[in-house]
Copies of this chain bind each other. A is one copy, B any other.
Amino acid sequence: MDIKTLCLGILSLGDATGYEIKKMVAEGSLSFFSEASYGSIYPALGKLMEQNLVTCVAMVQDKRPDKKVYSLTETGREELTRSLRKDPDPDKNRSEFLATILFCESVAPERVTALIQDRIIEHEDKIATLEGLLAGEMTPASRFVVEYGIATQKAALKFLQTHQGNLVGTAAKGAANKLKEVGTPAAE
């Protein structure tokens, strides 16, 4: 989903500024399955304006740039509906963590253990954040999405907690040897 459609979607939930859109993507219900930087949001809103898919009211603030509140137009809502009619692309999950684990023969075993420990904490934090969101007012749709996030995060957490030993016991030995070779090239 490109940033323009994402903005259209977020605006369909309520008027917002570019700054607020960024916050929703970074910390709100969308935070665990989408991303966007200012450098993509502001130009996207500009193009959406040109196409008359959104309108914008500038709120003058002194000592600060005008706050521009964007709203979806009727045409914008229709465009969004059209976009959402297309079958969604399959999910794209990129995980450097899992890649590192997979290539762990090139990584010190203590490092693998530490990585998993860190990851466990990150999952716990993420779950806490998502559960915090549930405390606020939510539409059924955003509740569904956040609870989906919690469910998958919890599954990942549980997996790491119960399987972390699987790597250290067996692969790590081989890794330790490999590492010795790489770590002391002078010995060759």
Asked if A9 and B103 make an inter-chain contact with CB atoms under 8 angstroms apart, the answer reads: yes
The residue on B at minimum CB distance from A188 is B74
Give A71-107 interface residues, CB cut-off 8 Å to B.
Answer: 74, 77-78, 80-81, 84-85, 87-107
Q: Number of A residues contacting the other chain (C-beta, 8 Å)?
A: 69
Asked if A88 and B77 make an inter-chain contact with CB atoms under 8 angstroms apart, the answer reads: no
* Contact of A34 with B by CB under 8 A: yes
Asked if B101 and A145 make an inter-chain contact with CB atoms under 8 angstroms apart, the answer reads: yes
The residue on B at minimum CB distance from A98 is B33
- Chain A 143-187, CB within 8 Å of chain B: the 1/0 string? 111011001101110111001001101110000000100100100
Q: How many copies does the complex hold?
A: 2
- Chain A interface secondary structure, helix, strand, loop or mixed? helix
Asked if B91 and A94 make an inter-chain contact with CB atoms under 8 angstroms apart, the answer reads: yes
Report the separation of the CA atoms of residues A84 and B99 in the bound assembly, to the nearest whole angstrom: 9
Give A129-155 interface residues, CB cut-off 8 Å to B.
Answer: 139-145, 147-148, 151-152, 154-155
The residue on B at minimum CB distance from A79 is B106
* Residues of A bordering B, CB below 8 Å: 1, 6, 9, 12-13, 29-30, 32-35, 74, 77-78, 80-81, 84-85, 87-107, 111, 115, 118, 122, 139-145, 147-148, 151-152, 154-156, 158-160, 163, 166-167, 169-171, 179, 182, 185
